[in-house]
Amino acid sequence: MDPERLVEALVFASAEPVPAAAVARVLPGDVDADAVLVAVQARYAGRGVELVQVADGWQFRTAPDVAPLLLQVVPRPRRLPRAAMEALAVVAYHQPATRTEIEAVRGATLSQATMDALLEAGLIEPKGRRETPGRPTLWGTTDAFLAQFGLRSLRDLPRRDDLLVERQPTPLV
Amino acid sequence: MDPERLVEALVFASAEPVPAAAVARVLPGDVDADAVLVAVQARYAGRGVELVQVADGWQFRTAPDVAPLLLQVVPRPRRLPRAAMEALAVVAYHQPATRTEIEAVRGATLSQATMDALLEAGLIEPKGRRETPGRPTLWGTTDAFLAQFGLRSLRDLPRRDDLLVERQPTPLV
Amino acid sequence: MSDEPRALLKLDGFEGPMDLLLDLARGQRVDLARISILDLVEQYLAVVDQALRVRLELAADWLVMAAWLAWLKSRLLAPAPEGAAEPEAVEVAEALAARLDALEHVQRAARWLGARPQLGQEVFPRGCPEDLVEMDRSGLAADLPQLVRAYMAAVRRGSSGQAYVPPSPRLWTVAEATARLTRMLGGPLGRTLGAGWVALERFLPHVAGDPAQRRAALASTLLAGLELARSGHADLRQDAPFGPVLVRSVLVQGGQDGP
């Protein structure tokens, strides 16, 4: 059996990212799962459906440029509002973080609606408590967060400096 | 936009089979939906995933020859209901025993469903009849019973006397 | 004065005082590390002042920030004497600049995330995943400890004092039916009926839902009727096959007119 066909079928069947280890399990011992995955990825490059590496796994996804036409047919949930995106960014960079810490960085209170939106979308999850008075809950991002934004790991987040340099410093007059 | 890419993505992302008419609605007016579908089908022919036409539309599916190789069989052993477990235990210790005798030891009636469950699991079997009025069937345990409970023979069952300490009358305080 | 509506409008769009400060800092068009905190304070106070002139109520955090910035401004202009207990105004200003820098980073990170193709927004996963897992339910989860516990539980219940009686369905016997039929034909019902024919079904005992018990009662009552007819105590009649069986008391006709 052609290993590419096996891998293609296995990853295609799942709506979730499939870990490379799970791919390796269906292949004969002497076949390199990563090499096969990369070969399948190349085969689908530029097609309407692409193979991407996200959240410690591999997933077939529609190509981003097809979206406008797809959205006529496939339902799309509401986008996260700005407050939720910023709170999410704080958690992503400062995790694990308490609610108070998130509020401190943003300089604004975190509304219940924002917390609910992030929790319902499964983008953040409790990661224990901080051992300080009141034992506040610590929040961190989930694998669903990585999958949602097409990240392989938190290391794929741009470095702080890379985010800030895009701005050209205007010389003082 | 390459119509094949669009159709590929549309069928991939849909939760239901996509009728050709729905494909046509997404494509520009002058593009023949059926022709595009057939072209995509040809592209996937022989791959791990195939585009197939089912009753109400088009759908991607794992290639029939690949599916069995990916099928993961997960053992999910059943538990015996409590009544069946007790009846089995009574048979084990009192065999050969009639149904009425099992009921007498348990102090509860034995439903036909419970008997059927034990018979189907191959744990008990008829061992002749008792020569009393009505000639009731005698039941005993099987070799499958021994295998299930890791016993070499019925003598390996814990001794009845070791299990049942004579109940002491509770001292009055 | 033409600035007022614009200032108010702007205030409503901000996620709090820090957000406004950051926006004002960006307006200085300089590197965030080199912004003039003093200018920033002036601008913030001006915006809040304008907002207050148009509407009196303003969330507390805006006013707290305004008061704090006013303090910072005074300290920056007239530094506290050496050795004062208060923190150096310059250090406080630097801390504020650092907070603005952190917020700037978060807002950029949020925009970076927002610009990525999002699952369910710009990219979509397989809509109808296929289940490649099959459950094998043929095995049995049962071990010796469970068997032993079950045995002990069974024996304890069996010897718990309540004598076990196998249930026997309560069936209406022919003797009971005969007694009932005789009693009813000779009783008030029989006297009321006189010599009339009555459907045998009216002599059935009251039986709860169980069909087997109903059939048994019907059969016993029919046999009882035949028995009474044989001994000359009653007449039976059936006008058509499968029609109702009628019964008539001979006792009444025989002149035994009650006590």
Question: Rounded to an integer, what distance in angstroms lies between the CA atom of residue C47 and that of residue C53?
Answer: 10
Question: Rounded to an integer, what distance in angstroms lies between the CA atom of residue C179 and that of residue C224?
Answer: 8
pLDDT beyond 50 at A60: yes
Q: What pLDDT does C82 receive?
A: 67
Mutation target to probe the C interface, by most C beta carbons within 10 A, among B61, B91, B105, B152 is B105
pLDDT beyond 80 at C111: yes
CA distances from B47 to A163, A170, B61, C129 (A): 42, 55, 11, 17
Poorest-confidence range of B154-158, C35-39, C205-209?
C205-209
- The verdict on a CB contact (< 8 Å) between B85 and C162 is no
Poorest-confidence range of B98-112, C110-124, C160-174?
C160-174
Q: Given CB atoms, is C159 within the 8 Å cutoff of chain B? A: yes
pTM: predicted TM-score of the whole model, two decimal places:
0.61
C 116-135 residues inside an 8 A Cβ radius of B: 124-128, 130, 132-135
- The verdict on a CB contact (< 8 Å) between B9 and A65 is no
ipTM of the prediction = 0.68
Q: What is the mean pLDDT of residues C189-205?
A: 74
Q: How confident is the model at residue C4 (pLDDT cuts 50, 70, 90)?
A: very low
By C-alpha distance, the chain A residue nearest C109 is: A89
Top-confidence residue, C110 or C192? C110
Q: What percent of chain A has pLDDT over 90?
A: 46
Neighbours of B118 (CB within 10 A): 24
> Would you say A119 and A139 are in contact if contact means Cβ atoms under 8 Å apart?
no
Mutation target to probe the C interface, by most C beta carbons within 10 A, among B70, B111, B148, B160 is B148
Q: What is the mean pLDDT of residues B63-82?
A: 84
B70 contact residues in A (CB cutoff 8 A): 6, 9-10, 13, 26
| CA of C153 vs chain B CAs: smallest distance (Å) | 7
C131 contact residues in A (CB cutoff 8 A): 13
- Residue B62, classed as helix, strand or coil, is strand
- The verdict on a CB contact (< 8 Å) between B109 and C167 is yes
pLDDT beyond 70 at C29: no
Q: What pLDDT does C38 receive?
A: 85
DSSP letters of B67-111? Answer: HHHH-EEEE-PEEPPHHHHHHHHHHHHH-SEEHHHHHHHHTS---
Q: What percent of chain A has pLDDT over 70?
A: 95
- The verdict on a CB contact (< 8 Å) between A48 and B14 is no
Q: What is the mean pLDDT of residues B1-10?
A: 89
Q: What is the mean pLDDT of residues A20-42?
A: 90
pLDDT beyond 60 at C9: no
- The verdict on a CB contact (< 8 Å) between A5 and B70 is no
pLDDT beyond 70 at C259: no
Q: What is the mean pLDDT of residues C82-89?
A: 69
Q: What is the mean pLDDT of residues A107-132?
A: 90
How many residue pairs bridge chain A and chain B with CB atoms within 8 Å of each other? 80
Top-confidence residue, B15 or B124? B124
> Would you say B105 and B90 are in contact if contact means Cβ atoms under 8 Å apart?
yes
pLDDT beyond 50 at C202: yes
Poorest-confidence range of A44-53, B54-63, B87-96, C57-66?
C57-66
Average pLDDT, chain C: 77
pLDDT beyond 50 at A116: yes
pLDDT beyond 80 at B105: yes
Top-confidence residue, B157 or C57? B157
pLDDT beyond 60 at B172: no
Q: What pLDDT does C30 receive?
A: 62
What one-letter code names the amino acid at B61? R
- The verdict on a CB contact (< 8 Å) between C110 and A108 is no
